[in-house]
Structure 1
């Protein structure tokens, strides 16, 4: 009887630690794949970034990986949907004026490492 309890306890532990988290990951992946739409930026499992241009009748994606270059990929080859970082865009726009004020034109003769270190100190 004790060995049966140990076997059942091991199965429950295995289910909690391995099977349940794997199912959760699979469900999230399926949900992400089904939510892909035209205009989304994606990253494939092969490491290519691209923007979804259209979804064809076979549910494959036509993705633009460079200007004028489109490839057809299987939906299951998508690793993730890349979310735009709106916060970083705002910071760059806000700091652009400050950066322009700080730019310094250095004569070619003073562009050496030693001359730069002297100017910085």
Structure 2
């Protein structure tokens, strides 16, 4: 669009005898500043809270103990039976099946209730 306007300026000048007002520095910077503002707003509205949520989940995953109930990203629920480095083995409620997952596959952690 800007190229069309710039290309049409000589035609307007020849037809009317008047030249178009030139764009100032501020007129050029406003669209760029608006674009930067939109990206900044997008960062603070969506990206930053997501990173904070991921950091909290990683802390919770590192604090998992045997007996906690978890839900995986695939929707499988179970009780933690064994923890090795980056792998967690859970027991599902159906026939007490043992299933192993990477820690990154955990989406929700439900801490076990401690009986008094």
Task: Say yes or no: TM over 0.5.
Answer: yes
Q: Distance in 1 between matches of 2:100 and 2:76?
A: 12
Residue 104 of structure 1: aligned partner: none
The alignment of Structure 1 onto Structure 2 pairs a total of residues equal to 86
Q: Distance in 1 between matches of 2:86 and 2:30?
A: 53
* Residues 23/45 of structure 1: CA separation in 2 closer, same or farther (3 Å cut): same
* C-alpha deviation, 1:41, in angstroms: 1.0
In the alignment, structure 1 segments of 5+ residues that lack a partner are 87-121
Q: Deviations over 1:9-55 (max 9, x none)?
A: 22221211122112112212212222212111111222222111111
SS of aligned partner of 1:53: strand
Q: Is the counterpart of residue 36 in structure 1 residue 55 in structure 2?
A: no
Q: Distance in 1 between matches of 2:66 and 2:112?
A: 15
Residue 103 of structure 1: aligned partner: none
Q: Distance in 2 between matches of 1:84 and 1:36?
A: 10
SS of aligned partner of 2:65: coil
In the alignment, structure 2 segments of 5+ residues that lack a partner are 1-28
Residue 24 of structure 2: aligned partner: none
Residue 100 of structure 2: aligned partner: 72
Deviates more, 1:36-45 or 1:68-77: 68-77
Residue 41 of structure 2: aligned partner: 13
Whichever structure has more helix as a proportion of its residues is: 1
Aligned to 1:4, which of 32, 38, 51?
Answer: 32
SS of aligned partner of 1:6: helix
Q: Is the counterpart of residue 63 in structure 1 residue 93 in structure 2?
A: no
Q: Distance in 2 between matches of 1:63 and 1:16?
A: 37
